[in-house]
Amino acid sequence: MLVDFNTLPEESRVWIYQANRSFSEVELLEIKEKLDIFIENWTAHGSDLQSGYTIEYKRFIVIALNQNLNMATGCSIDASVHFIQQLEKDYNVDLMDKMNVSYKQGEFVAHKTLIDFKKMAKDKAVSKNTIVFNNMVNNIAEFKENWEVPASESWHGRFLK
């Protein structure tokens, strides 16, 4: 059951998929249509899952699920992963690799491998004040408060001396 992302409870679980590039306007329209269809039909053991999504900075797909109504099951989580994998194939983009880092350079969102980000930290090309995207947040409340944070306030901070 598709609902507006902003109407979901703060404790709703989130999954964040970061793309290794920005989506074009045409791609965004197509992806939104596909997300609408997927979420409208997303179920757990035959029960509707109340969920919504947002796409941020033309590169982050954030899916949220109100677990107060129905919990995601192994099968429903598998279905969402297969959906994201299909988007990867359809748009020749990487959405599942957790070993990549996205961060802000002014208003631009940069994307690097973790190895490159560590090297940039060592070379002082990024600092503890660099805004990073903490895709490890678990729910909407954390997404709102702790998704875009200075590197010093995220797991990324371990690479900055």
Of 91, 115, 145, which one is at a domain's C-terminal end?
91
Q: Are 51 and 3 in contact (CB under 8 A)?
A: yes
Expressed as residue numbers, the domain containing 152 is: 100-159
Residue 53: both structure tokens together: 């999504």
At 22 the three-state DSSP class reads coil
Verdict on whether the full-model pTM lies above 0.85: yes
pLDDT of residue 72: 83
Same-domain check for residues 84 and 121: no
In terms of phi and psi (left: phi > 0; alpha: psi -120 to 50; beta: otherwise), the region of 71 is beta
Same-domain check for residues 24 and 77: yes
Same-domain check for residues 104 and 153: yes
pLDDT of residue 87: 98
- Total number of domains constituting the chain: 2
Residue by residue, pLDDT tens for the chain (161 residues) are 999 999 999 999 999 999 999 999 999 999 999 999 999 999 878 778 899 999 999 999 999 999 888 888 888 889 999 999 999 999 999 999 888 999 998 889 999 999 999 999 889 889 999 999 999 999 999 999 999 999 999 888 888 86
CA dihedral 4, 144, 66, 156 (to 10 degrees): 130
Same-domain check for residues 87 and 124: no
Same-domain check for residues 40 and 83: yes
Of 63, 91, 119, which one is at a domain's C-terminal end?
91
